Amino acid sequence: MQRSRRGAAASAHPGDVGAATEAATAAAVTAARGTAAATLPRAPSAAAQPAGPVWEKVLWRRQPYPDNYTDPTFLQALVVNADVPRRAFARVALGSAAVTQQLSAVAAALAVAAHLRLGAVSAGSVLALSAGMLLFGYAICCFVGGHVLGGSLRRGLRQVTLLTGGVYLLAPMLRTLTKTVSEDSVVAMTAGLLVLHLYLHDYNFVNSVTDKPTGAVSLSAAVFSSVLIASCMPSEMDVFAHVLFCLQLYLLSPFMRRYVRAASLGAHAGLTAAMAAAAAALLAPLSPALACVFGGLVLFVSLACPWWLVHIHKFKAKINGPWDEAVPQVPTHLMEAGGGGGGGGQ
């Protein structure tokens, strides 16, 4: 019997024996892998909660879950941009009009100073322009805003008279204020003061956000820059005309612009365009390139910056949820009781 089996094995084809051996080896490897996979521990799934107590979002209680376990309900209370308003381009552009108006006022003050120093315009012309601006501003405040600067017409006239007389009496002293200072230093200080004025100016007052102007430092910087420029004028009358013109631009015009915006947004936009055009017209005879730079700056502030703000607003992500800081809400009667008890103890 054994001899017959050996003969049959010897008479079998060698290829069949090799195939059978490979099949047996593969079956053994597969069985070993299955056994190893069955013995290895499985990682907890983040999508399905393991069997056991309900998971709670607390740190003070020990729970039978791994430290890195994330429950499917973890972000259910997440709220994104709940109280963030949507910004419209037209509204943002109208809000930037106050910045454009102040830039135009600064450019107009510098241009008038340059024209006075070069002799292109006379002090009488600037004084006439100042008088016209004053009458126009008072008319706007009376008929549009329903309010006279100073409280009454008589009081307003008295204040204007005192302001004009004070500037006229100080003109000789202001003309020699920087006589011993180099012109480069005056220009550098003026530029720094005007930048400070534009940075600290209360733009919310023109937009009717605040009731009273709060930019005291900004106004002081603008007036001081006007005094420095006036000290380089050729005559006392030029000093008087320039300082008076600047005081109207920096001190009185914000009230008029505030009333115009409160009355009509269209009139507010028209006034902004008129101020920018007037400033560019004053700069053009001095330097066409400077007028073009000013026009580009106005377009950048009035159109490019609002568009940019509206465009990047979609990337804003304000996250709210139950993890925010709790605001204690104490009942009124408890607060009153606590205050009364403290007073009695003292």
Please check whether residue 288 lies inside any domain of the structure. Answer: yes
pLDDT digits (tens, 9 = 90+) for 16-62: 444 444 544 444 444 444 443 333 344 444 444 456 678 887 778 88
Considering 2-6, 172-176, 281-285, 334-338, the range whose residues carry the highest mean pLDDT is 281-285
Paired sense of beta strands 319-320 and 79-80, if any: antiparallel
**Rounded CA separation 247/8 (Å):** 122
Higher pLDDT, 284 or 75: 284
Please check whether residue 334 lies inside any domain of the structure. Answer: no
pLDDT value, residue 344:
44
pLDDT digits (tens, 9 = 90+) for 223-271: 999 999 999 898 999 999 999 999 999 988 888 898 889 888 999 999 9
Report the candidate in 37, 85, 47, 103 with the shortest Cα–Cα distance to residue 293.
103
When divided into structural domains, the chain yields a total of 1
Please check whether residue 96 lies inside any domain of the structure. Answer: yes
Please check whether residue 8 lies inside any domain of the structure. Answer: no
pLDDT digits (tens, 9 = 90+) for 93-107: 998 999 999 999 999
Print the domain residue range for 152. 89-311
Residue-averaged pLDDT of the chain: 79
| pTM, full prediction | 0.69
165 sits in which H/E element: helix 153-175
Query: 207-212, long-range: CB within 8 Å, 24+ apart, which pairs?
Result: 207/95, 207/98, 207/261, 208/258, 208/261, 208/262
**Rounded CA separation 39/43 (Å):** 13
Report the candidate in 246, 254, 245 with the shortest Cα–Cα distance to residue 131.
245
Max distance between CA atoms of the chain, in angstroms, equals: 142
Please check whether residue 66 lies inside any domain of the structure. Answer: no
Res. 331 pLDDT band, cuts 50 70 90? confident
Count CB atoms within 10 A of the CB of residue 257: 24
What mean pLDDT comes out for the span 310-325?
A: 73
Please check whether residue 22 lies inside any domain of the structure. Answer: no
| CA 295 distance to own-chain centroid | 22
CA 36 to each of CA 26, 28, 293, 345: distance values in angstroms, whole numbers, following the listed order: 15, 12, 76, 76
What mean pLDDT comes out for the span 140-150?
A: 73
Please check whether residue 255 lies inside any domain of the structure. Answer: yes
Higher pLDDT, 233 or 150: 233
Please check whether residue 76 lies inside any domain of the structure. Answer: no
pLDDT digits (tens, 9 = 90+) for 113-139: 999 999 899 999 999 999 999 888 888
Residue 318 has pLDDT above 80, yes or no: no
